[in-house]
Structure 1
């Protein structure tokens, strides 16, 4: 794996990429890394869950352009495009439970439009799928061959099924239209630029701990998650884009932690005096979640490099400097007190 993403599989030059959801947490990190590697980037975002501030450091870069665009509308990008990275979607329970129809539309209509752009431009296409396609898994750890255990009519179904449909549509474009596609299944990821009020475990815990509030753990905290630092995830995604492999491919950290352990580690890392408070578990909250990353290791030579303590320290430092954690509020004006995903 090279550090410079200058070619795709078959020695095809990679000069210009489109990133949907480019102002979001993951999308903004992808834009940053692509520019670091010399790739021109067009970022599309409707700012529903993304934030232009996430890419403000690229605003004066002539090789970067941010366009306000909803991918459920028709997408038009003038000029050549070599790679389309489709990362537009609400991704946290707080967001997709509030925006269920939009979540389904961006997974279906939005994916269709992004695939259409790749087909029009003859570009490679990579879609951000999710470990949620495995649901509350009955196989552990989860390999790409596992078909999942998903409740399609539960509250989380709008996100799970949007991503499962998006995977099927991606394969249909590959098989019917010959589009060069890839599917990455992303497991829990953390790092700078996460929204403190998005309801996911790590930003919620960090915000609460820094504010001296009780740290809210869902259930008894015995449920497990495998958390990957964002730079490792981005490196794996771009390696998959470069490889020509179609996926699906799991990218995530195979080291498993209980949610209770994550909460305790956050309290220690922040030096907080916060206590842990147990709250009810959300409906269909997975009990275990850990990727089998054998395929990524064998095909890409990829493995995570940033361990949990180091990644957590970097994340806490960013939150201290960049976020008014004490004033973090949801859209209703109420201080957010979410359980952990």
Structure 2
């Protein structure tokens, strides 16, 4: 019996699967809890000596990501990490500080297949999925840095880094299962947000997943024509199908869906488009996050004028739709929403 995905890293295994792996090789399952805790948090464990041969035989030595660079934002609360994966590929993760809390923004893929025109990751194209272990390793690294430098525990996760989390559904769910396990990093499921550009099959699977993670859907257009010009996969999963999936998610989970709308000057920031969005979302349990466009090298769109942002939000609020203008973090170091990317060699 071999329940381990060889080479993927033991930290990608759920607690019960780790116990099964030990049992299958005749190793006492009494080691499961301290081994799992070490794999998930990276904190020293004296017991490892007897298990070193077993860990090596399983190809499951911790997936420690090698920091290539770390860049701090002028806001003093945002830090971006460029991390090398075991195969030489690279990803970016971000630690963001807000009043009373810190949030880690994690990646789920190297690049992205969704091709959103204003997103630096989408401009890279798709290279590969991350394993559950590689996703866990980001959280472990950021949590350790936060505790070392600020004496704080990581309590919030957003799956809004590089990649489409629901395109890499199984690895993302496996990683989050471990990240939210009380025996590991112990981050509450309610403090985890998963962002999607509208991967309808993934939304429907997430609706039936036992954990109650928050769902954030990137919309950016209230008609198929407008949205399709920004988000190519709208042609595969058009707005009517996406909205129905969001309604089904809310009905099953009995929780609100967060709608992300990147405001692009002269493209989707008009009062007419705000009214169309309000009509599209009528009767739905949603909260709209308005995000002024962050610049990327591959897209020549411009930020909206502030007056347009205020007018857009007022129309939504008058229609009974709660909305927030997203705080902009790390823009000066390309750590903001839609700015994460790595260079192709």
Which TM-score tier does this pair reach, normalised by the shorter chain? 0.3 to 0.5
Larger radius of gyration: 2
TM-score, length-normalised on structure 2?
Answer: 0.34
